[in-house]
């Protein structure tokens, strides 16, 4: 019975030694093709301002023109990992078993010295900005991008958002082919679409299908902070490991989604694939470019989808909308006058019948933005204006977490930069510098060493080092464990006779 259960998997997530990848594509224009204007930065188009094209699909649904226009702007994202194979496998085992099913064992045999992975990306600006999935580049020590024309570039991670499984890369290049955002709000169930990528290292593969559903929540981005956001476009276009981060486009060549996941018993395509809608992706990308962190707007409600059971229990007069179970203190919803028991039916005039639809509509905005919320209360309808807030309950811009450096025994202990954390696959730690002029100079440590553990206690921030060493001062020696930025592990005793 267990073997028959459906398993949902992120596509091609840092598959060690797997070598699965993604291709490219380009904006379609009516023949003759005129040179595109160079876009300095990807433009935000995540509402009704998104691209609309007058191009008419040829009679007979010929996919040739769209495929030819799109493939040059889908790239192959190649990653390397500094972690030793055993450690890397320990981190990835649960995912690999879920995603690859019976194929898991073939990924166990990895070469010594770290792992490799691959996925896809979509060029969204002529000067080298690329959008991909977060799981494609997560914890990578090195990222390379291979274009459809075989040019290869080192890529810099601009920013990533695990809550939506999106990331932005940058390569040093100009005049690249790129794709413009389409309006995923206009996508209709039954509409033809193309998926472009490099599944199983089959470069520049194009598959066709239709939109099967919208606003799907498949529970693949569940997070401890409950901030995972899913409102996928479901298609039956063939998507396999290696398509992650690739393009889902309409027949005009406009980007309407970023391919991210499949539902499968084996890890290979079985008829269901899922893409992040461009309306959400474009907003996330713009936030990462401007702020390095996503400005997540929250309405501040606990919600439940209305079904027949809930309607019977609560004596509701409708099966539409989203039921408000509760409101957070000092939330935008509370300030707007919403109450427990209300049924939210629309956000800015857009119908919301599922939790994922409501979350997607709200997530397109930033803290401080105003939205109109339509609701049912008893037998009456109402509309109110809510000013969205961030996770701290304010309307301010959220900045990257910055932890102040501290001095200890003459050395400087500071937070580990986010890029080093991602590169080394760490969840925290403390970087030490200024050792030569400190009381720690006899330990053998070198500047740049990242302390991750002292004895059996994990170190997540600079103050942990001071607190742990102070507590151990009268208890004998301790063993400091950590890693250097190049991936070398090291152990240093402190206080031992």
From the candidates 138, 165, 286, 287, which is the catalytic residue? 165
From the candidates 118, 120, 141, 244, which is the catalytic residue? 244
Report phi then psi at 6, rounded to 5. Answer: -70, 135
- End-to-end, the C-alpha distance of the chain in Å comes to 59
CA distance 320 to 407: 58
Decide if 286 is catalytic: no
271: region left, alpha or beta (phi > 0 left; psi from -120 to 50 alpha): left
CA distance 173 to 223: 36
Using alpha carbons, list the distances in angstroms from residue 70 to 73, 200, 326, 398, 490.
Answer: 6, 19, 45, 35, 47
Find residue 383's DSSP bridge partners.
Answer: 374
Q: Is the peptide bond before 191 cis (omega within 30 degrees of 0)?
A: no
Decide if 102 is catalytic: no
CA distance 216 to 305: 13
CA-wise closest residue to 332 among 368, 287, 294, 375: 368
- Looking at the chain, how many residues does it have? 497
CA distance 156 to 153: 10
Decide if 420 is catalytic: no
CA distance 336 to 299: 10
Q: Position of tokens 């461009």?
A: 278
Which token pair is 271?
């008829």
CA-wise closest residue to 62 among 251, 197, 235: 251
CA-wise closest residue to 295 among 164, 449, 403: 164
Burial 24-46 (b: 16+ CB within 10 A, else e): bbbbbbeeeeeeeeebeebebbb
Strand locations in 155-253 (E): 156-161, 166-170, 192-197, 205-216, 232-235, 247-249
CA-wise closest residue to 128 among 176, 92, 86, 95: 176
Rounded (5°) CA angle 298-299-300: 90
CA-wise closest residue to 234 among 220, 222, 224: 220
Q: Is the peptide bond before 470 cis (omega within 30 degrees of 0)?
A: no
Question: How many CA atoms are closer than 13 Å to the CA of 454, on its beta-carbon side?
Answer: 24
3-class secondary-structure state, position 42? coil
3-class secondary-structure state, position 357? helix
From the candidates 118, 135, 138, 331, which is the catalytic residue? 135
Residues annotated as catalytic are 135, 165, 244
């Amino acid at each position: 019975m267990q073997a028959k259960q459906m398993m949902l998997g992120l596509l091609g997530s840092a598959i060690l030694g797997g070598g699965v990848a993604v291709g490219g594509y380009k904006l379609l224009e009516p023949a003759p093709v005129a040179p595109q204007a160079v876009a300095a930065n990807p433009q935000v188009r995540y509402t009704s301002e998104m691209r609309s094209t007058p191009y008419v699909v040829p009679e007979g649904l010929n996919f040739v023109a769209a495929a030819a226009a799109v493939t040059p702007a889908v790239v192959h994202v190649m990653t390397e990992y500094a972690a030793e194979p055993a450690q890397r496998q320990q981190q990835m085992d649960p995912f690999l078993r879920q995603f690859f099913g019976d194929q898991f064992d073939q990924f166990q045999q990895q070469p010594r010295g770290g792992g490799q992975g691959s996925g896809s990306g979509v060029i969204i600006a002529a000067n080298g900005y690329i959008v991909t999935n977060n799981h494609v580049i997560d914890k990578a020590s090195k990222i390379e991008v291979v274009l459809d024309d075989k040019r290869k570039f080192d890529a810099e991670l601009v920013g990533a958002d695990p809550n939506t499984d999106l990331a932005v890369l940058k390569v040093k290049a100009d005049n690249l082919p790129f794709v413009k955002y389409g309006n995923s709000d206009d996508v209709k169930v039954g509409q033809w679409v193309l998926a472009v990528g490099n599944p199983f290292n089959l470069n520049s593969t194009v598959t066709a299908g239709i939109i099967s559903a919208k606003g799907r929540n498949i529970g693949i981005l569940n997070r401890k902070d409950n901030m995972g956001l899913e409102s996928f476009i479901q298609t039956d276009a063939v998507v396999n490991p290696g398509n992650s981060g690739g393009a889902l486009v309409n027949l005009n060549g406009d980007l309407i989604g970023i391919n991210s996941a499949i539902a499968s018993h084996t890890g290979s395509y079985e008829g269901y694939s899922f893409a992040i809608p461009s309306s959400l992706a474009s907003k996330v990308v713009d936030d990462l470019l401007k702020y390095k962190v996503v400005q997540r707007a929250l309405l501040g409600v606990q919600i439940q989808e209305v079904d027949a059971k809930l309607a019977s229990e609560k004596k509701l007069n409708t099966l539409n909308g989203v039921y408000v179970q509760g409101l957070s203190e000092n939330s935008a919803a509370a300030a707007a006058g919403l109450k427990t028991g209300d049924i939210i039916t629309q956000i800015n005039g857009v119908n919301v019948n599922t939790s994922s639809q409501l979350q997607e509509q709200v997530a397109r905005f930033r803290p401080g933005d105003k939205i109109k919320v339509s609701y049912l209360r008893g037998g009456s309808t109402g509309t109110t204006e809510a000013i969205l807030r961030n996770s701290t309950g304010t309307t301010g811009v959220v900045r990257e977490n910055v932890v102040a450096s501290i001095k200890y025994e003459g050395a400087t202990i500071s937070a580990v930069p986010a890029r080093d954390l991602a590169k080394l696959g760490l969840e925290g730690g403390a970087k030490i510098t200024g050792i030569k002029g400190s009381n720690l100079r006899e330990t053998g440590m070198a500047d740049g060493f990242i302390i991750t553990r002292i004895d059996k206690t994990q170190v997540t921030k600079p103050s942990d080092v001071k607190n742990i060493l102070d507590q151990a001062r009268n208890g004998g020696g301790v063993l400091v464990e950590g890693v250097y930025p190049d991936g070398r592990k090291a152990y240093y005793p402190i206080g031992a006779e």
